[in-house]
Structure 1
Amino acid sequence: MTSAPALRPKHAATLLILRRDAGPLRVLMGRRVRGHAFMPDKWVFPGGRIAPADYRVAAARPPAPDQLALTARACADCQRRARALMATAIRETFEETGLILGQPGQAASRSPNWQPFLNTGHLPDLAPLRLVGRAITPPLRSRRFDARFFTVDARHLASPHPTSGSGELDEVAWFTIEEAEALDLPSITRALLADVTAREHDPSRPVPYHRFDHGQHRLLSV
């Protein structure tokens, strides 16, 4: 009896929003609703898979050239997909938390994915995003993603106060790093949180790339 082939990972993006305005460093986390097919009840960073409209949406500012180049490494449709992944991180964060990473502006869109964001009177701002990781879900999982992880400082948000969003997350809140580490986290979320914390003291750290080959976890650099 042959086993089913592993699902092909879908491109996705995740945003770690860091808040430094008062006291210790804090990060935004959300708890996935119970009964969800992928990581129910786990605390995660907002994010999700890429949509076709993410390739076309207008932006208030383009990505920083070095970050676009870094995100574009080892992809078949390099810079175009890299830009789209940055837009994905912003759109998914808005959908799940109501937080707007953008600047005032107007653009026409026929996409139901982006219309709610654009209706706020903002265009997504790609300039402050920084790539801090990439991870591919292990084979034989019910969902598989090739995810890029970005950070952004909360001062770039239109407001730091999350709302209920789409309902995919049943609770969204700011946590200190110590508080976040005590939550029920997926292993990749915990690994990225530790790396981002270390990056606060050593910004020159290589960007980690987590993948699995023949059942073995491999930690590479992007």
Structure 2
Amino acid sequence: MGELPEGVELPLASVAIPRPSASLIISRNNSGKEEILLCHRVSEVPAFPDFWAFPGGGVSRVDRQVAEENPDWLSHTEDPVSTITLLRELVEEVGFAPDGEGSLELVDENIQNSICEDKNAWSSFVKQNLLKIENFNSQIVAERTMPPLAPVRFTNTFHHLSIGDSKIEPRFPEGLSEFDEYRWWQPKELLDFWLKNEVRLPPPQVTLTRDIVQAINERGDLISAFEKLHESPSKGYHILEFAPGVECLPLPTQTLPPATHTNCYVLGVSGGERIIVDPAAKSKEALDILRNKVREIESTGSKIVATIFTHKHPDHIGDLENISEIYQAPIWTSKETLEIIPKSESDKILKEGDDFKLIGKGESISWSIIETHGHCPGHICLVGDAGIISGDNVTVIGTILVPSSDGDMNQYLEGLERIKNLNPPLLFPGHGPFSANPQRLLNRYITHRNERHMLVYNAVKNNYKELESIAKKSYEDTPDAHPALLIDQTLSHLKGHIKSENIREEGGRYYIN
């Protein structure tokens, strides 16, 4: 937490316990083409906007209550509670329900709308025999637990159901839908589109799609592939692919709450050249995680060609002595960051406009460097086709501090505008989940910081002259914030105004120019 004012300590956040959720992979045989159903999430949803996903959702309190009150319902299935969630979500999201014979049918539109308005309606319709649940028997084929990237996490159980040659098509509820489009995909086609950055998939579904394609290659057809996955559903650790050529490895660090981890990134593809960004490992737990990842990388024949640090704060730079025992590679970073790192002849200074290519599997992935010094001197971002590794410029959850000690509020705001103007498809921040809607996130940050900048200016204009009184007035909408942080951020804004010659400081008091 190098951005904290000297002497300020904040309690570390706790890692969230995952909540259960469930998704259904529906497969069909369409004139010899074996396909699976995915739906496109609307741009307005907060999680994974414009991503393709399987129908499903979180296990709700209502679902648990229904299971408790009706213990015979779906008792033949592997997991009755998650199956209840599946069936409720299926009706809500795509208008499907069991047909009583092991397949699915399209439900009455009024039933779908009623369940969208009230989850309790699902069990009522079942009791009235307006919805069937008998003979529904999906197979559990995988389980994925979201890494500790956010205060809310899920363990998602993926089920599979084949509907044979059925020609039913989804129907989205009007005005209420998370989805705006659907498509039946051949799994290999879906993976190829993702690898070319032509579609977006949530990380758990990337590795699952890879597993499906591999199982098809081994077993020869889609149904046999799902049988293989059902025999031993994959669980536990999985590679976390945010985008093609961008893996995330969350490392536990002492960082600013609500974050509990720093995002270490592995760039490049399996078997090709790789670069590790921000290996922040210091604790035994973090070093072990990094060690296992390096073994995994090297087992594919990949070579780690460099380590890059986005900036110099201690929650981004790990224990270099111990890390050097795990792997060795030249350090590439800015001049300012290199100044705090033990020197080596292999070091390389990265500056504005530098670029590099990672070669692998007959292709190359290009990245370039931009300087965004606002958060701290020497802060850099990596710009690629998949998106921007943005360090500590923004975060989806929580906030970013601009230290008054060596940060620069004006440069910070300029950096946000610059990242926005590059229009990245995704943002990969230093902490927390990636941003699937960078423009929305950056606009929020820019608007908020500019409004706060003006509040500080107006406080001085209205004759608040001492730092503490300016801070209290400028942040009166956040009474629960840490007082020392409010003062430090106010001072950062004041220094920005002084640099812009809007305000002057005389004897510890501030005046409008």
Shorter-chain TM range is 0.7 to 0.9
Q: Does residue 107 of structure 2 align to residue 101 of structure 1?
A: no
Give the equivalent residue in structure 2 for 1:172: 182
Report Cα offsets for 1:84-128 as digits up to 9, x if no partner: 101111211221111223429xxxxx9931525838822234632
Q: Does residue 121 of structure 2 align to residue 115 of structure 1?
A: yes
Report Cα offsets for 1:1-20 as digits up to 9, x if no partner: 34422222211100000112
Q: 1:151 to 1:63 in 2, by over 3 A?
A: farther
1:29 is displaced (CA, Å) by 0.4
Give the equivalent residue in structure 2 for 1:43: 52
For the 8 Å contact 2:98–2:136, the answer to whether it is kept is no
Report Cα offsets for 1:58-94 as digits up to 9, x if no partner: 6997354xx62xxxxxxxxxxxxx2110111121122
More strand by share: 1
More helix by share: 2
Q: Does residue 171 of structure 2 align to residue 163 of structure 1?
A: yes
For the 8 Å contact 2:22–2:58, the answer to whether it is kept is yes
1:197 is displaced (CA, Å) by 3.6
Report Cα offsets for 1:34-55 as digits up to 9, x if no partner: 1322111111101101123324
Amino acid at match of 2:153: R
How do 1:1-222 and structure 2 match up within 5 A? 1-55=10-64, 56=66, 62=74, 64=76, 68=78, 82-103=79-100, 112-115=118-121, 118=125, 121-125=130-134, 127-141=136-150, 143-155=152-164, 160-165=168-173, 166-181=176-191, 182=193, 183-200=199-216, 201=219, 203-205=227-229, 206-211=232-237, 215=251, 216=289
Higher relative contact order structure (alpha carbons within 8 Å, sequence separation ≥ 6): 1
Identical columns (%): 21
Matched residues in 1 for 2:138 and 2:179: separation? Answer: 22
Q: 1:51 to 1:126 in 2, by over 3 A?
A: farther
Q: 1:61 to 1:188 in 2, by over 3 A?
A: same
Matched length = 197
Q: What secondary structure is seen at the aligned counterpart in 1 of 2:100?
A: strand
1:142 is displaced (CA, Å) by 5.2
Report Cα offsets for 1:143-198 as digits up to 9, x if no partner: 411110000012497x6210113411121221222332212112211211222344
Q: What secondary structure is seen at the aligned counterpart in 2 of 1:17?
A: strand
Q: 1:54 to 1:186 in 2, by over 3 A?
A: same
Q: 1:21 to 1:60 in 2, by over 3 A?
A: farther
Amino acid at match of 2:169: H
Q: 1:148 to 1:126 in 2, by over 3 A?
A: farther
RMSD between superposed Cα atoms in Å: 3.4
Report Cα offsets for 1:185-214 as digits up to 9, x if no partner: 122112112223444525345210144897
Structure 2 length-normalised TM: 0.34
Matched residues in 1 for 2:206 and 2:91: separation? Answer: 22
Q: 1:127 to 1:103 in 2, by over 3 A?
A: closer
Structure 1 length-normalised TM: 0.73
For the 8 Å contact 1:15–1:46, the answer to whether it is kept is yes
For the 8 Å contact 2:74–2:133, the answer to whether it is kept is no
The worse-fitting range, judged by mean Cα deviation, of 25-34 and 1-10 is: 1-10
Asked which structure has the greater CA Rg, the reply is 2
Matched residues in 2 for 1:34 and 1:129: separation? Answer: 30
Matched residues in 1 for 2:235 and 2:135: separation? Answer: 22
The worse-fitting range, judged by mean Cα deviation, of 28-37 and 175-184 is: 175-184
Matched residues in 2 for 1:136 and 1:95: separation? Answer: 24
The worse-fitting range, judged by mean Cα deviation, of 176-185 and 142-151 is: 176-185
The worse-fitting range, judged by mean Cα deviation, of 111-120 and 30-39 is: 111-120
For the 8 Å contact 1:63–1:83, the answer to whether it is kept is yes
For the 8 Å contact 2:35–2:186, the answer to whether it is kept is yes
Gaps of 5+ in 1: 69-81, 105-109
Matched residues in 1 for 2:120 and 2:164: separation? Answer: 22
